[in-house]
């Protein structure tokens, strides 16, 4: 039997609508029920684990009162919890609250979900007595492990399913109503479609056929199209635009291309804005990290360090890793944002190589590698600080990825260029990865992202710095034969040495140096954590401390203190747009000469020049505690 177009339209609209309504309602119902039960299980598991974690000391020390408070708090956390208990390894109930069905519990082992009644689920979590393993990444790969944790009891939580069952019944009722309404609505829509769509569709088919035959004057009646007026308008518009010339189409493509270019520029501006934000936030990020380093330094010299030396070393390692990551991210941010301007000058390459060999010799010794640096009398023209950063990254990478043998740094003349090469005896780099290794966060042979193998940013920073300095950079390597990374610098004739910058002019103290600091130190910084960290570090080193947050407090401290400060540590920028340099000079005029150490997260060329003209030492935050201590001793004793 032949079915009319209207009947087919009716069935085509009604059946899918009804089926979709039923299916969506069923899926929603099943998903909602599953989410409710999963949420209940998640809450029960989380509460039992929280109790197990918090009950460790109570079971170990036998403090039943604290354990009872813990079980009571479990009842208050979630209204579905009907009972909670804490049991020791002998099966003795140390504390219990609410209604519990002890006879229905399974064996005392880890049980995340156990349904022992129609409307009750139990969650059992062992209470562990444990200690944290500590990995010393500076110990040459040797890992020390503490004894495994032991079970000293169990935390049991029983959760009622009554509320879940009630909500499930309500959901089923609501779902049935929704399915029914969906079917009714689908039927009504199907009737409307059958009445209003059939005739316009037949007319549209006829008009399209005429256009296909070449009759470009064929048009649909928009007024009689009903719900398909937009279709009629579109067909008419299509017929009118078929005669558009090729030039008009080309203009449209050009306009679209310009729109895409504008969108691309907007995306680039957004990226630059993000980069500028990261660069501007460096001060706020570095200050708490600076304070954290001082706190860890004080912790390393406390009684806690003697009792838990591995824990302190682990914390120090984490702080160092965080500082390296922050420095790398902010360096990339500054490079991408165009905020870093090279300071080009002529400099002796030998000074840079000697400094690099001294800084990295300890790392080479710790790994049992030989670090050889061939010195040179040649001079180069570039930014010495940025060139040093490139070479430190290249040599540091070579030492990190070399297991046996050593690393050689050499310099060769190539006409009017100086090629500085870093050779290693590592595993080598496959040819296809020679460009990939210079991308952000790319590390070959480190899928587990072991921080001891670096962060994957060193070579990316080197590539950006070489592009900023317009100096060639490359790599030669074969798997199993080691690698050679190189840069080429313009060579110049030797000139007289210029005045060295004040920034980072002092080496860090060796960890074995325990000489005490004698004198009174005035710390002026608007960050409370930095003041507290400075105070703890200086007191630990044997000095006396005066603290001030701004200019007014600094003046009051000096006027009211029985001892005038011998040294002042001051932020370069203080509240109220006060300059740390101006404040230091004001205190020197009123209270006599005193040593001055300036600290700042921003040590651009302008800040360095101002500090140098004032004769003050300027260090970049975060300041390593050893470097800070060396600076204090130098300013207090002149040594």
Q: What is the pLDDT of residues 1-18, one digit of tens each?
A: 556 656 666 666 667 767
Please choose, from the candidates 12, 10, 14, 6, the residue with its C-alpha nearest in 3D space to the C-alpha of residue 184.
14
Mean pLDDT confidence for 591-612: 83
Number of Cβ within 10 Å of residue 393's Cβ equals 21
Looking at residue 94, what is its pLDDT?
86
CA 615 to chain centre: 38
Please choose, from the candidates 556, 487, 476, 494, the residue with its C-alpha nearest in 3D space to the C-alpha of residue 522.
556
Same domain, yes or no: 92 and 185? yes
Same domain, yes or no: 536 and 485? no
Tell me how far apart the alpha carbons of residues 483 and 475 are, in angstroms, rounded to a whole number.
Answer: 7
Candidate ranges 270-284, 393-407, 448-462; pick with highest mean pLDDT: 393-407
* Boundaries of domain holding 488: 341-492
Mean pLDDT confidence for 330-350: 77
* Span 30-48, pLDDT tens digits: 887 888 778 888 888 888 8
The answer to whether residue 119 sits within a structural domain is: yes
Looking at residue 28, what is its pLDDT?
78
Same domain, yes or no: 161 and 106? yes
Tell me how far apart the alpha carbons of residues 572 and 96 are, in angstroms, rounded to a whole number.
Answer: 59
Taking phi over 0 as left and psi of -120 to 50 as alpha, with beta for the rest, 592 belongs to left
Same domain, yes or no: 485 and 524? no
pLDDT of 486 over the 70 cut:
yes
In degrees rounded to 5, what are phi and psi of residue 258? -65, -40
* Span 299-311, pLDDT tens digits: 666 666 666 676 6
Looking at residue 488, what is its pLDDT?
92
Looking at residue 118, what is its pLDDT?
63
Looking at residue 609, what is its pLDDT?
86
Same domain, yes or no: 475 and 532? no
Q: Is the peptide bond before 622 cis (omega within 30 degrees of 0)?
A: yes
Q: Residue 101 maps to which CATH number?
A: 3.30.450.20
> What percentage of the chain exceeds 70 in pLDDT?
69
Q: Three-state DSSP class for 346? A: strand
Mean pLDDT confidence for 358-384: 87
The answer to whether residue 259 sits within a structural domain is: no
Looking at residue 379, what is its pLDDT?
92
Same domain, yes or no: 41 and 180? yes
Same domain, yes or no: 22 and 165? yes
Same domain, yes or no: 46 and 194? yes
Mean pLDDT confidence for 448-469: 70
Same domain, yes or no: 451 and 536? no
The answer to whether residue 263 sits within a structural domain is: no
In this structure, are residues 603 and 487 in contact, taking their beta carbons and an 8 Å threshold? no
* Span 105-142, pLDDT tens digits: 666 665 555 555 567 888 888 888 866 555 555 555 54
The answer to whether residue 487 sits within a structural domain is: yes
Q: Domain boundary at 222, 243, 264, which?
A: 243
Tell me how far apart the alpha carbons of residues 291 and 264 are, in angstroms, rounded to a whole number.
Answer: 41
Same domain, yes or no: 477 and 601? no
Per-residue confidence band for 331, with pLDDT thresholds at 50, 70 and 90: low
Please choose, from the candidates 486, 483, 487, the residue with its C-alpha nearest in 3D space to the C-alpha of residue 431.
483
For residue 53, give the H/E element and its range: helix 5-54
The answer to whether residue 317 sits within a structural domain is: no
591 or 266: which carries more pLDDT confidence? 591
Mean pLDDT confidence for 82-87: 87
- pTM of the predicted protein model: 0.43
pLDDT of 279 over the 60 cut:
no
Candidate ranges 106-110, 287-291, 571-575; pick with highest mean pLDDT: 571-575
Largest Cα–Cα separation, the chain = 113
pLDDT of 595 over the 60 cut:
yes
pLDDT of 246 over the 70 cut:
no
pLDDT of 515 over the 70 cut:
no
638 or 591: which carries more pLDDT confidence? 591
- By mean pLDDT, which of 70-74, 225-229, 527-531 is the weakest? 225-229
Mean pLDDT confidence for 579-591: 89
The answer to whether residue 616 sits within a structural domain is: yes
The answer to whether residue 304 sits within a structural domain is: no
The answer to whether residue 400 sits within a structural domain is: yes
Looking at residue 575, what is its pLDDT?
86
In this structure, are residues 220 and 207 in contact, taking their beta carbons and an 8 Å threshold? yes
Looking at residue 224, what is its pLDDT?
61
Q: Domain boundary at 193, 226, 243, which?
A: 243
Same domain, yes or no: 3 and 47? yes
Q: Residue 369 maps to which CATH number?
A: 3.30.565.10
Q: Which residues contact 298 (CB under 8 A, 6 or more apart)?
A: 533, 536, 537, 540
Same domain, yes or no: 483 and 540? no
Mean pLDDT confidence for 561-578: 87
Report DSSP letters for 257-288, one per residue. Answer: HHHHHHHHHHHHHHHHHHHHHHHHTHHHHHHH
Q: How far apart are the first and last CA of the chain?
A: 109
Tell me how far apart the alpha carbons of residues 155 and 117 are, in angstroms, rounded to a whole number.
Answer: 19
| Number of domains into which the chain is organized | 3
């Amino acid at each position: 039997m032949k079915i009319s177009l209207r009947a087919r339209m009716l069935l085509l609209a009604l059946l899918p609508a009804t089926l979709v309504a039923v299916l969506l309602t069923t899926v929603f119902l099943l998903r909602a029920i599953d989410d409710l039960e999963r949420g209940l299980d998640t809450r029960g598991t989380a509460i039992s684990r929280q109790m197990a974690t918090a009950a460790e000391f109570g079971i170990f020390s036998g403090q039943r009162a604290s354990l009872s408070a813990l079980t009571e708090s479990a009842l208050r956390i979630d209204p579905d919890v009907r009972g909670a208990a804490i049991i020791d390894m002998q099966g003795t109930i140390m504390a219990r609250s609410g209604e519990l069905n002890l006879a229905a519990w399974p064996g005392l082992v880890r049980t995340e979900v156990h349904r022992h009644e129609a409307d009750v689920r139990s969650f059992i979590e062992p209470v562990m007595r444990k200690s944290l393993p500590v990995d010393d990444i500076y110990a040459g790969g040797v890992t020390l492990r503490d004894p495994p944790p032991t079970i000293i009891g169990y935390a049991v939580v029983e959760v009622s399913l009554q509320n879940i069952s009630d909500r499930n019944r309500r959901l089923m009722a609501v779902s049935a109503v929704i399915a029914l309404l969906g079917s009714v609505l689908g039927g009504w829509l199907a009737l409307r479609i059958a009445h209003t769509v059939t005739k316009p569709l037949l007319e549209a088919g006829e008009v399209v056929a005429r256009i296909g035959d070449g009759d470009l004057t064929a048009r649909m009646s928009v007024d009689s199209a009903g719900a398909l007026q937009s279709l009629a308008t579109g067909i008419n518009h299509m017929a009118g635009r078929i005669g558009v010339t090729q030039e008009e189409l080309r203009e449209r493509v050009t306009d679209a291309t310009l729109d895409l270019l504008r969108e691309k520029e907007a995306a680039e501006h957004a990226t630059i804005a993000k980069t500028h934000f990261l660069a501007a936030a460096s001060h706020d990020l570095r200050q708490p990290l600076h304070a954290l380093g001082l706190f860890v330094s004080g912790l390393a010299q406390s009684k806690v360090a003697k009792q838990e030396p591995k824990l302190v070393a682990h914390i120090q390692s984490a702080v160092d890793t965080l500082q390296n990551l922050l420095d790398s991210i902010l360096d990339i941010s500054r490079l991408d944002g165009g905020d870093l301007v090279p300071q080009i000058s002529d400099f002796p390459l030998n000074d840079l190589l000697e400094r690099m060999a001294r800084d990295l010799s300890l790392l080479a010794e710790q790994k049992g590698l030989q670090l050889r640096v061939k010195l040179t009398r040649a001079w180069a023209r570039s930014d010495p600080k940025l060139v040093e950063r490139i070479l430190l990254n290249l040599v540091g990478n070579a030492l990190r990825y070399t297991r046996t043998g050593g690393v050689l740094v050499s310099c060769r003349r190539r006409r009017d260029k100086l090629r500085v090469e870093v050779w290693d005896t590592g595993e080598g780099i496959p040819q296809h990865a020679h460009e990939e290794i210079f991308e952000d966060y790319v590390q070959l042979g480190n899928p587990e992202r072991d921080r001891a193998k670096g962060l994957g940013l060193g070579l990316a920073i080197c590539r950006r710095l070489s592009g900023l300095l317009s100096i060639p950079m490359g790599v030669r390597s074969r798997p199993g034969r080691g690698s050679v990374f190189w840069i080429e610098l313009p060579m110049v004739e030797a000139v007289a040495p210029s005045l060295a910058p004040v920034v980072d002019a002092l080496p860090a103290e060796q960890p074995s140096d325990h000489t005490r600091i004698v004198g009174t130190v005035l710390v002026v910084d608007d960050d409370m954590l930095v003041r507290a960290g400075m105070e703890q570090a200086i007191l630990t080193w044997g000095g006396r401390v005066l603290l001030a947050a701004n200019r007014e407090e600094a003046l009051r401290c000096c006027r009211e203190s029985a001892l005038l400060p011998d040294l002042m540590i001051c932020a370069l920028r203080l509240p109220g747009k006060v300059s740390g340099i101006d404040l230091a000079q004001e205190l020197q005029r009123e209270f006599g000469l005193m040593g001055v150490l300036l600290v700042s997260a921003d040590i651009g060329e302008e800040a360095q020049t101002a500090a140098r003209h004032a004769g003050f030492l300027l260090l970049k935050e975060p300041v390593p505690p050893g470097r800070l201590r060396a600076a204090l001793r130098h300013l207090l004793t002149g040594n």
